[in-house]
Amino acid sequence: MSTDDGSARPAVVWFRDDLRIADNPALSAAARSGAPVLCVYVWDDESDGLRPPGAASRWWLHHSLTELSASLERLGAVLTVLRGPSERVIGELLRETDAAALFWNRRYGGAERRIDEAIKTSAREAGVEATSFGGSLLFEPWTIRTGLGTAFSVYTPFWRACLSAPEPRKPGPAPRSLDGARLPRSTHTVTVDDLGLLPTHPDWAGGLRDAWTPGETAAHEQLTRFVEDDLAAYRNERDLPGVDATSRLSPRLRWGELSPHQVWHAARARRERDRDPEIAQSATTFLGELGWREFAYHTLFEHPDVATVNIHREYDSFPWARLHPTVLRAWQQGRTGIPLVDAGMRELWTTGVMHNRVRMVVASFLVKNLLIDWRHGEQWFWDTLVDADPANNPFNWQWVAGSGADAAPYFRVFNPELQREKFDPHGDYVRRWVPEWDTDAYPEPIVDLKESRRAALAAYETVKSSR
């Protein structure tokens, strides 16, 4: 088949949360098809229900798209950037290019699934082969079911079911080269720069630049280094925020610079290679963290509005404190007078991530000691995390708040001072982010820990009794 100008009908690859060329099932399918490949990214800030990325996420997205574009050019293709409502923009592209096929890797959010379904239907009606692939999860949510055919609501049996399901596929290579499709002049494209994703006035991204190199190349270096050098100590040291013992792969998975399949098999291969029991245990613990990611997506699939609605609806009547903006701001800015909390919030603001143990502590502090609705915390994380994930972020906030799937029991209130003594015993982490700790410049706590704990338990008591 040919278009009017004699060129073959292209296969369109729509990139979304999969900004990589290796182990990308949609890209591979397009390359295999023999058709010229047209790679596209759509910046859609118009469709209903799509959640606009936060500021830190936009920064990361800019750089990751830029590298993806360069990688595709090396292979012989280009990344076409479009702007507008996905359904209209993709539909127009298919018509203008007389595309033969449309490929993508699936998304799992409510609005995303509605949009993708509508596009798939109209593409097929127009004679375009539209095919979706599993590229971002180890286990598709609808394949992991309880004996009754329902979704799992508890992590442990969920993960056990995953582990006894067929093993996730081995990751595939990047295409060696691509036959890049030509774009008709009539198509209105923009550049990554045109999207205006970077902060300008002021440019607050200096800390992010120091902490990160977005993009697929650095992602692979990071994965290799972690698996080869750091996996052995992972189990014992991952809870110590002052030690660099975590994988720091979360933004890589969020943006799909790495697929979970690449991470899974890298860790498994390391475990098989040398049979050190320390590595074996660490690998199991680490893979369990991938399991929580799978469970969060599983939960998002079942509860599309997880970012705004309590999974346990009895929490809808929870007696949150009246919101004092100064209190929320003190938490956001790391000025609560609680050293571990302030250290975490400042790490977040500077680097776009926070150590996982500390995330639990600051979240517990906001929700329980300050009695501030978890949605405020979720939104702040959404805006400031470079790994802000549509599934993980709301899932984990609801987990801490007690309203979520397999949530922490309501009475589990972290004591941030005790947590500091346990997990940052030498104060390395706190001093790194709160240098004025233990000086007169450091403020008094904005709440009494003992008293606010009692108040939290009383508040949660009202929810419990209404069950």
The amino acid at residue 201 is H
* 130 bridge partner residues: 102
Give Cα 218 to chain centroid, integer Å: 17
348: left (phi over 0), alpha (psi -120 to 50) or beta: alpha
Largest CA distance in the chain: 77
| Omega before 202 within 30 of 0, i.e. cis | yes
Least Cβ distance, residue 248 to DNA (angstroms): 16
Angle subtended at Cα 95 by Cα 99 and Cα 124, rounded to the nearest 5 degrees: 65
Q: State the nearest-atom distance from the C-beta of 87 to DNA, in Å.
A: 36
8 A C-beta contact, residue 97 and residue 187: yes
Closest to DNA by CB, 50 or 263: 263
Cβ nearer to DNA, comparing 231 with 358: 358
* 8-state DSSP, 34: -
Q: Is 374 a catalytic residue?
A: yes
Residue from 409, 440, 441, 444 touching DNA (CB under 7 A): that is 409
Residue 155 makes contact with DNA by CB under 7 A: yes
Helical pair 356-364 and 339-351, crossing angle rounded to 10 deg: 120
Which of 13, 21, 34, 36 has the alpha carbon at shortest distance from 70? 21
* Contact assessment for residue 420 and residue 340, using Cβ atoms and an 8 Å cutoff: yes
Active-site residue 60, yes or no? no
156 or 317, CB closer to DNA? 156
Count of residues touching DNA (by CB under 7 A): 21
Whether 255 is a known active-site residue: answer no
Spatial neighbors of 399 by CB under 8 A, at least 6 apart, are: 405, 406, 407, 408
Give me the least distance between CB of 222 and DNA, in Å please.
21
Given the residues 59, 60, 104, 374, the one annotated as active site:
374
* Cα(142)–Cα(39) distance, integer angstroms: 28
Cα separation, 161 vs 164, whole angstroms: 5
Q: Is 418 in the site for DNA (CB under 7 A)?
A: yes
Q: Is residue 415 a contact residue for DNA (CB under 7 A)?
A: yes
Based on the shown chain and the rule CB under 7 A, indicate whether residue 419 belongs to the binding site for DNA: yes
Q: Does 59 bind DNA (CB under 7 A)?
A: no
By CB under 7 A, is residue 411 in contact with DNA?
yes
In the complex with DNA, which residue's Cβ is closer, 261 or 357? 357
In the complex, minimum distance from the CB of residue 410 to DNA, in angstroms, rounded to a whole number: 8
Measure the CA–CA gap between 408 and 403, rounded to whole angstroms: 9
Which neighbouring-strand residues pair with 131?
Answer: 103
Binding to DNA, residues 279-298 (CB under 7 A): 289, 292
CB closer to DNA, 195 vs 449:
449
Among 213, 329, 412, 462, binds DNA (CB under 7 A): 412
Q: Does 360 bind DNA (CB under 7 A)?
A: yes
157 prior amide bond cis, ω within 30: no
Which is closer to DNA, CB of 147 or CB of 409? 409
Residues 129, 453, 455, 459: which binds DNA (CB under 7 A)?
453
Question: Is 320 annotated as catalytic?
Answer: yes
163 binds DNA (CB under 7 A): no
433 has catalytic annotation = no
Stretch that binds DNA, among 88-96, 217-225, 376-384, 445-453 (CB under 7 A): 445-453
Q: 3-state class of 228 per DSSP?
A: helix
* Catalytic residue check, 349: no
Look up residue 185 and give its DSSP letter. Answer: T
Any idea which residues carry the catalytic annotation? 289, 292, 320, 356, 374, 397
Contact residues toward DNA (CB under 7 A) are: 155, 289, 292, 356-357, 360, 408-409, 411-415, 418-419, 422, 449-450, 453, 457, 461
